[in-house]
Copies of this chain bind each other. A is one copy, B any other.
Amino acid sequence: MNRYFIEKETKYHGYELSPHWLYRNFGLKGDSIAAFIGECEVKLGEMVDIEDVINNEPIYSDKMLSFIEENFHSTLKEAVFRQRLLAGIVRDMIKERFPEAKVVRDGDDVYLNDKKLTVSIATKSMTSTLIHFGINVDPANAPVKAAGLETDLGITNVKEFALELMERYNREVEDIDFALTKVRGAGE
């Protein structure tokens, strides 16, 4: 899959989670993931997570590292599994850097010291699946108790973190794909 870092500071509003946003804006053709940094403000009207809408839980963070992935070869269920891979890799990357950190993955969320570090959603369009995965850098003004890469862990080279995450994610996705091709079917 294409991997891309958007250098320009970019606010996330929610509508970026739409088909061909990566293609139209950054020329990324086919399965792709891109990262960008900026304010995150998703109002209820833009949310695709009905649970959050019902619970009246908009999303806000002063500074977030966001990933948008669009995949044209997967089911929604696979996209939900991939969310969990992303969360697991974030957990691992933090643990490797800070072995003492209290960091856990719970479903598609990552918590740091019992504070929410990430937000995530997976959805589908007519021709693709789409994932937003966001990691707070500075969670100021978040509506819930939240942690941030910079504020809580002192990680300032966020771009480097993003590149490594996309690289490891891509490797695992390819490894999963290889697993399908090396196995004999089972008979009764």
CB < 8 Å neighbour of A181 from B29, B78, B126 = B29
Which residues in window 57-74 of A have CB below 8 A to B? 72-73
Residues of B within 8 A of A7 (CB): none
Task: Compute how far the CA of A18 lies from the CA of B104 in the bound complex, rounded to whole angstroms.
Answer: 35
Q: Does A130 contact B (CB under 8 A)?
A: yes
Q: Which of B24, B104, B108 contacts A50 (CB 8 A)?
A: B24
Nearest B-chain residue to A174, judged by Cβ? B30
* A136 within 8 Å of B (CB atoms): no
Q: Interface of chain A, helix or strand or loop or mixed? A: mixed
B123 touches A20 (CB 8 A): no
Inside 8 A of A127's CB, which chain B residues have their CB? 76, 123-124, 180-181, 183-185
Cα of A1 to Cα of B51 in the assembled complex, Å: 19
A85 nearest in chain B by CB position: B84
12 contacts between A and B (CB under 8 A): A18-B188, A19-B184, A19-B187, A20-B50, A24-B54, A31-B181, A78-B81, A81-B82, A123-B185, A124-B126, A125-B188, A128-B181
| Chain A interface (Cβ < 8 Å from any Cβ of B) | 17-20, 23-24, 27, 29-31, 47-51, 53-54, 72-73, 75-78, 80-85, 88, 92, 104-105, 107-108, 121-128, 130, 172, 175-188
